[in-house]
Structure formats: C-alpha cells, structure tokens
C-alpha cells in the first residue's frame, strides 16, 4: 500500500497539465469550476469532472497503446500528462 495522499500526482511534473485538463473538462461539462475554493459545487458536479477526466485518460492511453491516431490539437492526452515518464513497459 502506498503512503502518498490520493490528492497528489503520481508524477509531480504532471500537476500543471492535470490542473489544465481539469478546467478543460469542467468547461466542457458546464461545471463552473474556479481556481481556489469550490465548496459550492455538488458532489455530482465534482464527480462528473473527475469521472470524465478518467474516461478521457483511459481512451487516450488505449489509443496510444494501439498505435492509433492521437487526439486533436488542444485536447489533453494521457501521454501529455505523464511528463518525465519515457519507459515503454
């Protein structure tokens, strides 16, 4: 079992990209996410952002693993968020 908090990035260099991705997803879903306190948002709103982020990261990773086309410019991909990780299994 890991000792790190569930609120820390596994790859610290990816934190900025993950934050940008979070705001991109929130905007896409119409969730009024702000930089700072978001206690006014419901669990459903916050969960929809996190869930959609995971879905998009899994899709991007599957596409990368299958050698498929990358996501259109402007969209985040799992490859962009794993900064510093260059190993291929």
pLDDT of the chain along its 89 residues, tens only?
Answer: 566 667 788 899 999 999 999 999 999 999 999 999 999 999 999 999 999 999 999 999 999 999 876 655 445 544 455 444 444 43
Q: Do residues 81 and 21 touch, judged by C-beta distance below 8 A?
A: yes
Tokens 């990261």 belong to which residue? Answer: 57
Q: Supply the pLDDT for residue 76.
A: 56
Residue 39, both tokens: 């206690």
Beta-carbon contacts of residue 4 (< 8 Å; ≥ 6 apart): 10
Q: Supply the pLDDT for residue 2.
A: 60
User: What does pTM read for this prediction?
Assistant: 0.67
Q: Supply the pLDDT for residue 81.
A: 52
What does the DSSP 8-state code read for residue 70? Answer: P
Q: Radius of gyration (Cα) for the chain, nearest Å? A: 14
Beta-carbon contacts of residue 72 (< 8 Å; ≥ 6 apart): none
What does the DSSP 8-state code read for residue 13? Answer: G
Q: Do residues 60 and 71 touch, judged by C-beta distance below 8 A?
A: yes
């Amino acid at each position: 079992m890991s000792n790190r908090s569930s609120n820390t990035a596994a790859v610290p260099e990816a934190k900025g990209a993950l934050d940008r991705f979070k705001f991109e997803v929130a905007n896409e879903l119409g969730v009024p996410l702000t930089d700072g306190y978001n206690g006014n948002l419901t669990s459903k709103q916050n969960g929809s952002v996190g869930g959609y982020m995971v879905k998009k990261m899994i899709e991007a990773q599957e596409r990368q693993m299958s050698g498929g086309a990358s996501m259109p410019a402007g969209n985040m991909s799992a490859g962009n968020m794993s900064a510093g990780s260059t190993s291929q299994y």
